[in-house]
Structure 1
């Protein structure tokens, strides 16, 4: 079932989210921590194949994006399964139109706030990534209107619909989000610096 974007601040109405596409290791940004955790999940030993922990797939996760300011959001990816799994790299973000058709906009994967940190997540644990989007005028040729944000972990599987919330009061559903481009940061075990780029 498609879930509409949700924002908590009126300013978030100016924000837009975009679809997925290319792979590029440039760019930079880090976001202030919005989600809270008592402790960070353990980084994975990159040479040991995550010590036998399978990669998280879309079937293992749930996702939530918290708007930090116009055009900037913190993505939280939580292991919703009953077994440990690992994340390493970039999440794949997608946008859907009102009719559930895929929207294609330029997407740039950036090494921000630094290289990805392979992270093993026990059930209920969360890893993070920042993303930024370019808002656009609805009359522009490259402007797309999205109603749903989807997230797929690097391990593949079926994308999941993400909820989007703001950082201030209220709970207002956003029916349409105009966007023309997206930059996605690397997955990290904590919120530190994730959207500060």
Structure 2
């Protein structure tokens, strides 16, 4: 084979090699992420996937601590953030309202519950702030002090999609039945922020508690989109 033929073949091979390595580079979409590997934004598909991964039934990520402090809670004083995306606020009539009793609290400490508000409607609505919570006895409202707190953190504005659930921690602080201001209750009335209240379904309460339990005051945590640390305060 002549030198000219060999040179031509070598040149063709070089062209083919370059084409194989970089021919599709202009068609590829770069995956650019800032330091730490966090995307600067999420796509609509990613948002839908994240929303669909939320459990329909609450699953706690931690066990509530044994709480026995009688120190008065520090009330939240700031206004909640505005609802996202100019959505209409969630109404209690369109929510499944539950209080799920949490075990593991100390005998003399406060009772601890998880408030779960599930959107049973067909449209996304907005939640922001704290649920309205009151004590009841045989369905009748019982007057006890209630304090809203920034626990486990300040409230966030949420777009609550259909069949999704928002959560808040709840404490009811016991008292000697003969103490001044001590009341007996057997249930709660719960409502979305700024909406009416309705009897909450109770889950995990003992037979004795269903007949009545002493309450001196109620402490209400902020609404959050997950149960992370929701009752650890």
When normalised by structure 2's length, the TM-score is 0.59
Supply the distance in 1 between the matched residues of 2:210 and 2:141 (Cα, whole angstroms): 18
State the Cα deviation string for residues 103-124 of structure 1 (Å, max 9, x = none). Answer: 1111111101111011111111
**3-state SS, counterpart of residue 93 of structure 2:** helix
Give the CA deviation at 1:179: 0.5
Give the aligned partner of residue 121 of structure 2: 81
Q: How far off is 1:133 after superposition?
A: 1.1
Larger radius of gyration: 2
| Alpha-carbon distance, 1:127 to partner | 0.6
CA distance in 2, matches of 1:166, 1:59: 23
Matching residue of 1:51: 85
Superimposed CA distance per residue, residues 72-93 of structure 1 (whole angstroms, 9 cap, x where no aligned partner): 1111111112211111000010
Check if 1:184 corresponds to 2:223: no
Structure 1 or 2: larger strand share? 1
User: How many Å apart are 1:51 and its aligned residue?
Assistant: 1.1
Q: Which has the higher contact order (CA 8 A, sep 6+)?
A: 1
TM-score, structure 1 length as denominator?
Answer: 0.69
**Cα offset for 1:185?**
0.5
- The runs of 5 or more residues in structure 1 that have no matched partner are 1-22, 27-45
Is 1:165 the counterpart of 2:203 in the alignment?
A: yes
What is the aligned partner in structure 2 of residue 65 from structure 1? 99
Q: Distance in 1 between matches of 2:157 and 2:115?
A: 16
Structure 1 ranges of 4+ moved more than 3 A:
none
Instruction: Tell me, in whole angstroms, the C-alpha distance in 2 between the residues paired with 1:155 and 1:106.
Output: 18
Residue 154 of structure 1 corresponds to 193
Mark the runs of 5 or more structure 2 residues left unpaired by the alignment: 1-73, 106-110
Q: 2:92–2:191: 8 Å Cα contact kept in structure 1? A: yes
More helix by share: 2
How far 1:24 sits from its partner (Å)? 2.2
SS of the aligned residue for 2:88 comes to coil
